[in-house]
Structures are given as structure tokens and as C-alpha cells.
């Protein structure tokens, strides 16, 4: 890699002066991205990276896809936002209803955090009950409720919620019930125990990197349906990624509501709540009456974002799109697994072909607490070596796109091999 250029260093100095922590609060601040194309990005210095960050997931068909770019450029000349219904937003809602099993109606907002917060408020309003049951380690945005027991620094007994940030009112703890992910018996027992207090249950059908255990999602669906408690699938990440109809299509389990983001905006700020018309009717002043739930957003249904989403979905409907992404992911997962095994390094590739990472731990990784056993020091060393070899990823995830190529796979596995070799040398030296 080329040493950081004077211009990139200058930008980093400005960032440290004007931005808290020198960044936007997302990934590392030691790189400034200049541009992206397909499955790669370039920093201001000119260094080229195979990109598995993908803007934290939205760029599922790659950066600067020509179909999306052309459509967006044309729309920008016609106006960028209206705060009113527009053709592209209406047609995107129609496409979501056609694709997503639970979606009878759609309401747009601008971020996954907004979508999750509104979905939780919606079910509380629908049932007239205040509590939400979520799962330890589940990420549902940056709202007070979403930041309960996402990554607790101290473990508490279930169902106690632990705030992940200062500034959250203590009262919120009493409004969130926390259950262990993938523990069918405990989850069902807790839902039954708190049934009269629950507005709804929210779950990532695929929690961060952890697949659902056989029967887990079905058990949630059955008990919530029996008790009349709305079930929310947080599909901000998995929507249109695991399958065109999302994780609910992939796993064959239909919730009452879901939230979506990332892919549906095609790289622009857009998210959505979708679900049963009976519940979504609370957003309709005429139908809801006194139960009407206000939801306003300056950029909700933004025409540029909606058009980018529509064009992205068109690309994903083309034959072979998902097969390409799955094939890329499987090649990487298999190659990494083989190298770890051959080197005798304690680690396993956890996740799904389009979204995974290596957890440096042995044993069954089935929930937040088991994944937290992973050796963070080893992971940091691997990530640093990957970056030095032109691989860009977050601290804890590879996002795969339909635009990644065989050359990208080869470069990534070569970089991973270098990381394995460096770790092996380190351990031999320590011995």
C-alpha cells in the first residue's frame, strides 16, 4: 500500500479538529474514501481496496452501478425532494409489497433506526401495552429501546435489560424484556409470562452473524400468533439480501411486521416499515381515529432514494444475481475455514454466504454470550493484516456483493493466508 498522501493526512487533521473522535462515529478514522466502483473502493491517497464494508451493507449490487447511477442523475435534474407523494416512492412501495411476504402496506422513513423505533411504537400503540421483548445481542438501531442489551458490558440475568449508552432514561429498562437468542424454551416461556404486558416481540431473524437454530423462528411465530402479540422481523440488514423476499422468504416464516433499510435505498437514505394492513392502519388518520400514530419525516420516500432502490431491485431480479453473491461468499468461507484448520488456529467462519466473519473461538456459537468468547486481539491482528493487503472490512463483518469477482476472491484469500502466516509466526515466537 502507498503511504498516506499529504492530502489525506490534511483531511484527517481537519476531521480530528471538527469531528468528535475524528470521524462520523462509524468505522476506523485512519482512511478517507474517495470513490467506489463495483466491489472496490479507493482512498484519497489512491490505494485500492476490495470492499467488504459496502457502506455497511447497502451496496449489495456494488458501487456506482451504471443502471442506478443513470437513473439517479436524471432524477436529480428534476428535483431531489418534495415532502409529498412521488411516483418513485409509490412504485417502490408496490415492489416491496409484491416481494416481501408480510408486506401488505409500507411506510417510509430515512434510517434503520427510525424504522425500528417506529415499528416498536406501532405495536405498542396497536396492543395498548408498553413492553417490548427483544433478544440479547440484537441490534435494532440507536433508539433508547434499541440500545438495550445490544452489547452489554456486564451480563445480567434474563429478562433484565442493560442500557448500552449513557443518557438513556432508567425508565426504559422497565419497558424492555430481554431473552436469550436461539433458546426456544426460555423465549417461549418469557413471551407467555409477559404476554399481558407486551406490545410486541422484535427479533433479527439472523442475529448479527448468528443463524437461527432450527425451529427457533417458528416457535416465536407460533407463540406470538397464539397470544395475539405482533412479531417484528428486523430485516434492515437481511431484507432483499438473503433472498428477494428477505429472510422471511429464506426461512419460510412470516412475521406481522418487518423493517427494511440499506438495500431498498440503493445507497441513499431510505428505510421502511412494512406489514399487515390491520396494524399499518394506525398510520392512517381516517381509519385509526383516536389511535392515529403520527409519523413524519422530511426525507421519507425521497424520490432519489426511492428510484435508486427501484433500480437496485431491478438488478436483483436479473437471473443469477443471488447465485453470484452466494458463490462468492461460499468460496471465501470455505477457503478461510480450510486455512484456519490447516494452521491449527482456533477459529470458525460464522454467518451466511452474503454476510459473515471469523470468530476466533472454539465450541458452539449460538448466541451473544458464546460469540463474545471470541479472541478480540487475534481478530484485530487479522483485520490489520487484511487492510495492509488491500482488504477493507468492518471490525466484525464481511458484506458480499453481486459485483465481487473471482479476482477479488483470490486477493482476499491471499491476504487471509498472509494473516494466518503472521499469526502462526507470532505464536511460534511466543512459544
Longest dimension (CA), the chain: 73
| Backbone CA torsion sign across 23, 27, 30, 32 | negative
- DSSP assigned state of 43: E
Q: How far apart are CA 381 and CA 399, in angstroms?
A: 19
- Of 92, 59, 150, which Cα lies nearest the Cα of 354? 59
Cell 482512511 locates to 31
250: its cell numbers: 429464506
CB 379 within 8 A of CB 346: no
Point out which residues pair with 399 in neighbouring strands: 355
Report, as residue numbers or ranges, the catalytic residues: 139, 234, 262
Q: Name the one residue in this structure whose C-alpha cell is 451480563.
A: 155
Phi and psi, residue 196, nearest 5°: -75, -10
Contact by Cβ (8 Å): 261, 271: yes
Alpha-carbon distance of 53 to 71, in angstroms, equals 24
DSSP letter (8 states) at residue 190? H
For residues 54 and 266, the answer to whether their CB atoms sit within 8 Å is no
Half-sphere exposure of 208 (CA within 13 A, CB side): 26
Q: Which segments of 221-360 are extended strands (E)? A: 231-235, 257-260, 271-275, 348-352, 355-359
| Closest residue by Cα to residue 304 from 65, 60, 72, 52 | 72
Degrees to nearest 5, angle at CA 52 with 51 and 58: 100
Cβ atoms 195, 164 nearer than 8 A: no
CB 360 within 8 A of CB 345: yes
Q: C-alpha cell of 319?
A: 437471473
Sheet holding 398-399, edge to edge: 348-352, 355-359, 398-399
Amino acid at each position: 500500500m502507498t503511504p498516506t498522501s499529504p492530502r489525506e493526512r490534511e483531511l484527517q487533521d481537519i476531521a480530528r479538529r471538527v469531528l468528535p473522535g475524528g470521524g462520523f462515529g462509524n468505522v476506523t478514522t485512519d482512511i478517507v474514501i474517495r470513490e467506489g466502483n463495483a466491489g472496490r473502493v479507493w482512498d484519497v491517497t489512491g490505494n485500492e481496496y476490495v470492499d467488504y464494508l459496502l457502506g455497511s451493507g447497502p451496496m449489495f449490487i456494488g458501487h456506482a452501478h451504471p443502471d442506478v447511477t443513470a437513473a439517479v442523475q436524471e432524477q436529480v435534474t428534476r428535483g431531489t425532494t418534495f415532502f409529498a407523494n412521488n411516483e418513485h416512492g409509490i412504485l417502490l412501495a408496490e415492489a416491496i409489497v409484491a416481494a416481501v411476504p408480510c408486506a401488505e402496506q409500507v411506510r417510509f422513513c430515512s434510517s434503520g433506526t427510525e424504522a425500528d423505533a417506529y415499528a416498536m411504537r406501532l405495536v405498542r400503540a396497536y396492543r395498548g401495552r408498553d413492553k417490548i421483548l427483544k433478544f440479547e445481542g440484537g441490534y435494532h438501531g440507536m433508539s433508547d429501546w434499541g440500545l438495550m442489551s445490544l452489547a452489554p458490558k456486564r451480563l445480567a440475568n434474563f429478562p433484565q435489560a442493560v442500557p448500552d449508552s449513557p443518557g438513556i432514561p432508567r425508565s426504559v429498562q422497565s419497558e424492555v424484556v430481554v431473552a436469550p437468542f436461539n433458546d426456544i424454551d426460555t423465549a417461549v416461556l418469557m413471551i407467555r409470562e409477559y404476554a399481558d404486558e407486551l406490545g410486541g416481540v422484535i427479533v433479527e431473524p439472523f442475529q448479527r452473524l448468528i443463524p437461527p437454530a432450527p425451529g427457533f423462528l417458528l416457535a416465536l411465530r407460533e407463540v406470538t400468533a397464539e397470544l395475539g402479540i405482533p412479531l417484528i422481523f428486523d430485516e434492515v440488514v437481511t431484507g432483499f439480501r438473503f433472498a428477494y423476499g428477505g429472510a422471511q422468504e429464506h426461512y419460510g416464516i412470516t412475521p406481522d411486521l418487518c423493517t427494511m433499510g440499506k438495500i431498498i435505498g440503493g445507497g441513499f437514505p431510505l428505510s421502511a416499515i412494512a406489514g399487515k394492513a390491520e396494524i399499518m392502519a394506525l398510520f392512517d388518520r381516517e381509519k385509526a381515529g383516536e389511535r392515529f400514530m403520527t409519523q413524519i419525516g422530511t426525507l421519507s420516500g425521497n424520490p432519489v432514494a426511492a428510484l435508486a432502490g427501484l433500480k437496485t431491485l431491478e438488478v436483483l431480479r436479473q437471473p443469477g444475481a443471488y447465485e453470484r453473491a452466494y458463490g462468492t461468499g461460499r468460496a471465501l468461507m470455505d477457503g478461510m475455514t480450510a486455512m484456519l484448520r490447516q494452521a491449527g488456529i482456533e477459529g470458525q467462519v460464522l454467518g451466511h454466504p452474503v454476510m459473515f466473519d471469523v470468530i476466533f473461538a472454539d465450541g458452539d456459537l449460538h448466541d451473544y454470550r458464546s460469540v463474545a468468547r471470541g479472541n478480540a486481539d487475534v481478530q484485530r491482528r487479522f483485520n490489520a493484516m487484511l487492510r495492509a493487503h488491500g482488504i477493507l472490512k468492518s471490525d466484525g463483518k464481511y458484506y458480499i456483493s453481486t459485483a465481487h469477482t473471482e479476482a477479488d476472491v483470490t486477493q482476499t484469500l491471499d491476504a487471509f493466508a498472509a494473516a494466518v502466516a503472521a499469526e502462526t509466526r507470532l505464536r511460534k515466537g511466543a512459544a
